[in-house]
Structure 1
């Protein structure tokens, strides 16, 4: 995911206690999984000589391998009840302009190989069970892909940022501290857009930027290609200028202070998506609201999404609420629980999704997350009143 802005963002909260978050001089760029933020978070716990030498040259590098497996209690006829995936990522940044200053400019990249160990990838297991939703959409079987390649330029003493290139809209639109599919909730109901936002691919050519308007108020926005294909990145750039099918968003938010923006965050996001042949998705528009505020070690949150058509999944209204607790059983461990209520277009019953996860790091270079989810009134499986999904996720870090 991209590091898009210097202000919005849930930087590494899913792996750090609130005390550590307050102490760190965080680089306020993008979501928790933005390249620069992810590297900064992981390096805090393991000082590697090679990385330190490169950092002196303003180069940041990282490699990680993630795996996830999910089992469903009930599935539709002839569907798999188990899915497992892996993902290898090589990512980094290189500041070339004004290196070492607050207003540095640099190249940011992320290359991935997403592969499935089973016929059904993890992102499809909820559909197999009859639920209308996605579990960890990053765990797919796309193979080799270019996820990020963009120029990131900071301005105004790192109070504003502009990015141009192959971006991930989930890194700047409706960002939420516990939304990371690597370290937070696995179900997309608790991630960007709360299943109502008609998102493009997570690698789309475009432009995004934002700024702090004062000490508390920020604004961000972007426009990216709706026809992008991460396995054919040059085509995405061509489509941006020729097909003119875009995802546009603008966001206005409030925080108690830039140093606490990753936890104390209120924002309203308005968006519009053109139709997409690549995604077989109709045009749509809507708004999303998000509120999260740190209280001691607790992070309660409420998030809502409203779409005109619900063209992403057939969900046009969605509300999520829950809480995170940081430092449970260790400074780098955290617990998350959430409930989502979704209105499915044409379905008289609301679909209810719940999730509980616990991330812990037995050693600085390895994370493991047990996860359990339930779906009440699964929209695609009316014969079942409830289905359960039990999962395990891990990440090995260099």
Structure 2
């Protein structure tokens, strides 16, 4: 199941009918995601990339996506000639990695969402392509390798109106319904050095990095493979600065106990120059203790996390200093059932919620037509907003992810928002979504 600022605006605004045709064409013809699947043996891969072991980040991290998206996953439909057409590309990627230590991955994803509410924009349609990689430049193949990781993204509109990341705000939700699908154009969203020491027991990263994907996340927290609503991916009782300059490290006390800590620019904006805000010297600091109850190779699924964080006062924004704690726990049973819980508590100065809790279940569905498993995810969350002027909000999401063809995954979903926090005049709202992801 689960095992397995340089900025240039670029927006496309075709007519709605052409957009829908385009989405269907994308879903049927372009190569997406290799579904995460893990076993005690190295799974079959396209370019021979090894499984990421003991990563500091969650499923949105560069090294994790390089690993997971390279796992070979058969689709519902099979087109051997098309698959054969792309084989030289993957063979070239394998040779490039073997000769130089450079791993590359390209992906393209779209998300269409529609709400049943009578609001100015009922539809939202966005696209996102990205190029990312990892270049092992120090001690390649040795005990303590060092590597440069990078990601370049382009996020844009696929129709007139708003991107999916803004749809929820139309009816008063305080949590985005389309995480990761904004319209900031083209940006360098990661450039960092990662280093292992002490045979991998100590790892650190420094550069332009994410402060969100590190802490209080689970195997289904990916906006491209898992839940789409931000409230289902992680506790919103913690701050959410953009990708900016930061430093973090992880230390493995033993195979079951790990500590991860970091300091990040609290004013960072993902698509802007990170040096524009670091001079404010206002930081988000975090320490997270992780317990892996089973074997090290199951770190993605079998885990308990406890995070303590503090954020400096943000003078320009008028945000007082803030602090809080989050909790996350998950376990994979029988390689099929994946229950999880997320929770958080804070003083509410720097976060969407001052307290929240999410419970969910992932299910791997056996399929007769292929060896891979489809994934069904269901989660329900409650949050008490930081502002006393807003009402408590309950959010739920159901999605079904299946591999249509090799390299292409399709995910229909539905979200339900009860008592949208920012709109006391609405009792509830529904959001229907369709996501397509291509990887190669």
Per the TM superposition, whether the score is higher than 0.5 is yes
Residues 63 and 89 of structure 1 are in contact (CA less than 8 Å); yes or no, is this contact kept in structure 2?
yes
Are 1:16 and 2:56 counterparts?
no
Using the alignment, how far apart are the partners of 1:247 and 1:261 within structure 2? 25
| Aligned 1:1-398 pairs, distance under 5 A | 15-17=35-37, 20-24=38-42, 26-28=51-53, 29=55, 30-45=57-72, 48-56=90-98, 57-76=100-119, 79-117=120-158, 118-192=160-234, 194-201=235-242, 203-233=243-273, 236-237=274-275, 239-240=277-278, 242-256=279-293, 257-276=295-314, 283-296=321-334, 297-313=336-352, 315-329=353-367, 331-344=372-385, 345-346=387-388, 349-398=391-440
> Compared with structure 1, are the counterparts of its residues 247 and 21 closer, same or farther at alpha carbon in structure 2 (3 Å cutoff)?
farther
> Compared with structure 1, are the counterparts of its residues 54 and 327 closer, same or farther at alpha carbon in structure 2 (3 Å cutoff)?
farther
Secondary structure at the aligned position of 2:275 is classed as: helix
Using the alignment, how far apart are the partners of 1:39 and 1:154 within structure 2? 18
Residues 358 and 371 of structure 1 are in contact (CA less than 8 Å); yes or no, is this contact kept in structure 2?
yes
Residue deviations 1:329-352 (CA, integer Å, cap 9, x gap):
352421110000111242685311
Deviation at 1:175, TM superposition (A): 2.4
Residue deviations 1:76-95 (CA, integer Å, cap 9, x gap):
4xx21110100110110110
Residue deviations 1:201-257 (CA, integer Å, cap 9, x gap):
0x1101011011112111001001122233332xx23643x3111111100111023
Using the alignment, how far apart are the partners of 2:416 and 2:376 within structure 1? 17
> Compared with structure 1, are the counterparts of its residues 245 and 173 closer, same or farther at alpha carbon in structure 2 (3 Å cutoff)?
same
Using the alignment, how far apart are the partners of 1:311 and 1:159 within structure 2? 33
Using the alignment, how far apart are the partners of 1:21 and 1:149 within structure 2? 31
Deviation at 1:357, TM superposition (A): 0.5
Unaligned runs of 5+ in 1: 1-9
Secondary structure at the aligned position of 1:125 is classed as: helix
Using the alignment, how far apart are the partners of 1:54 and 1:36 within structure 2? 17
> Compared with structure 1, are the counterparts of its residues 229 and 352 closer, same or farther at alpha carbon in structure 2 (3 Å cutoff)?
closer
> Compared with structure 1, are the counterparts of its residues 159 and 326 closer, same or farther at alpha carbon in structure 2 (3 Å cutoff)?
farther
- RMSD in angstroms over aligned alpha carbons? 2.2
Count of aligned pairs between the two proteins = 379
Residues 34 and 69 of structure 2 are in contact (CA less than 8 Å); yes or no, is this contact kept in structure 1?
no
Higher mean C-alpha deviation, range 373-382 or range 41-50: 41-50
Deviation at 1:155, TM superposition (A): 1.8
Secondary structure at the aligned position of 1:43 is classed as: coil
Residue deviations 1:360-397 (CA, integer Å, cap 9, x gap):
11222111100100011112222221110000111111
Secondary structure at the aligned position of 1:170 is classed as: coil
Using the alignment, how far apart are the partners of 2:262 and 2:269 within structure 1? 18
Using the alignment, how far apart are the partners of 1:378 and 1:180 within structure 2? 23
> Compared with structure 1, are the counterparts of its residues 318 and 328 closer, same or farther at alpha carbon in structure 2 (3 Å cutoff)?
farther
Using the alignment, how far apart are the partners of 2:153 and 2:318 within structure 1? 24
Residue deviations 1:62-119 (CA, integer Å, cap 9, x gap):
111111011011144xx21110100110110110100012421011000011112232
Secondary structure at the aligned position of 2:254 is classed as: coil
Unaligned runs of 5+ in 2: 5-32, 43-49, 74-86
Using the alignment, how far apart are the partners of 2:192 and 2:408 within structure 1? 28
Residue deviations 1:35-60 (CA, integer Å, cap 9, x gap):
12212222221761111111102110
